[in-house]
């Protein structure tokens, strides 16, 4: 299994441009997530999905959009990129997320995005 | 919503000493508490977790303790080694919103 794969690994965007971060997982996980990580600020949840066709906002959804047409894929779209979106983005997945089963969240390798 | 805080923000220990990293959470309904380790430039990876019906869990040199009354949980690393140097994130899960809330992370440095 490749686990969680996200592309691209590095990208420089100009202000106002749009782009899509791709994420795919081959573990047949129901739950998928997008986090952003800013220096010293931990991991902030952007959007998450509990299954194909279902998405919901996290803590910091403004400026982003997601879709979940298949179990495997969960792309993150940035519209009209702004310097505040310069960050490291992590896609992640889990079979479920439950206090009783405690399933592990698996992270992708991260995408370094700079908006200039 | 849930708020998770970590103390201290940085920690430096001598190789061989023990390190303790503490987290507090705000939502008494939280019932699952994982710890993630992130090496420089790498992805976060789960190292240990604990559920609310357990007070302590050990895995070789690492252990996690949970105090539900005080709403805090701690990561204990014994016999620290240079490869333990990393950022450690704690998190708390609340069933009401079905997602984890992460702390800001603590940078642990182990001096050889």
For chain A (116 residues), the mean pLDDT of every run of 10, in chain order, is 92 97 94 91 90 93 97 96 97 73 81 97
Q: How far apart are the CA of A75 and the nearest CA of chain B, in angstroms?
A: 18
Mean pLDDT of chain B: 92
pLDDT of residue A101: 52
- Contact between B103 and A42 using a beta-carbon 8 Å cutoff: yes
pLDDT of residue A103: 67
- Contact between B99 and A45 using a beta-carbon 8 Å cutoff: yes
Q: How far apart are CA B104 and CA A5, in angstroms?
A: 24
Q: B4 to chain A: nearest residue by CA?
A: A42
Q: How far apart are the CA of B53 and the nearest CA of chain A, in angstroms?
A: 9
**In Å, what is the CA distance from B15 to each residue of A62, A95, B8, B77?**
43, 37, 19, 11
* Residue A96 CB partners (closer than 8 Å, separation 6+): A30, A31, A103
Strand A43-51 and strand A54-57: the pairing is: antiparallel
The dihedral formed by the CA atoms of A78, A84, A90 and A91, expressed in degrees to the nearest 10: -30
Least confident piece of the model among A6-15, A90-99, B26-35, B74-83: A90-99
Q: How many CB atoms lie within 10 A of CB A89?
A: 22
Chains A–B, number of C-beta pairs less than 8 Å apart: 57
All residues of chain B having their beta carbon less than 8 Å from the beta carbon of residue A51 are: none
pLDDT of residue A100: 47
């Amino acid at each position: 299994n490749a686990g969680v794969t996200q592309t691209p690994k590095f990208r420089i965007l100009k202000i106002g441009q749009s782009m899509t971060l791709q994420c795919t997982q081959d573990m047949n996980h129901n739950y998928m997530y997008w986090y952003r990580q800013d220096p010293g600020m931990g991991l902030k949840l952007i959007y998450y999905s509990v299954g194909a066709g279902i998405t919901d906002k996290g803590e910091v959804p403004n400026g982003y959009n997601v879709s979940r047409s298949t179990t495997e894929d969960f792309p993150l779209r940035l519209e009209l990129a702004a310097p505040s979106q310069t960050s490291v983005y992590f896609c992640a997945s889990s079979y479920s997320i439950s206090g009783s089963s405690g399933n592990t969240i698996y992270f992708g390798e991260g995408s370094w995005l700079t908006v200039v | 919503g849930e708020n998770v805080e970590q103390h201290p923000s940085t920690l430096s220990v001598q190789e061989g000493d023990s390190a303790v990293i503490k987290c507090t959470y705000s939502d008494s309904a939280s019932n699952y508490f994982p710890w993630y380790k992130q090496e420089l430039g790498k992805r976060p990876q789960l190292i240990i977790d604990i559920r609310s019906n357990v007070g302590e869990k050990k895995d070789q040199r690492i252990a996690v303790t949970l105090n539900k009354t005080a709403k805090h949980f701690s990561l204990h690393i014994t016999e620290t080694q240079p490869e333990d140097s990393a950022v450690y994130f704690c998190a708390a899960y609340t069933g009401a919103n079905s997602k984890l809330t992460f702390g800001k992370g603590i940078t642990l440095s182990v001096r050889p």
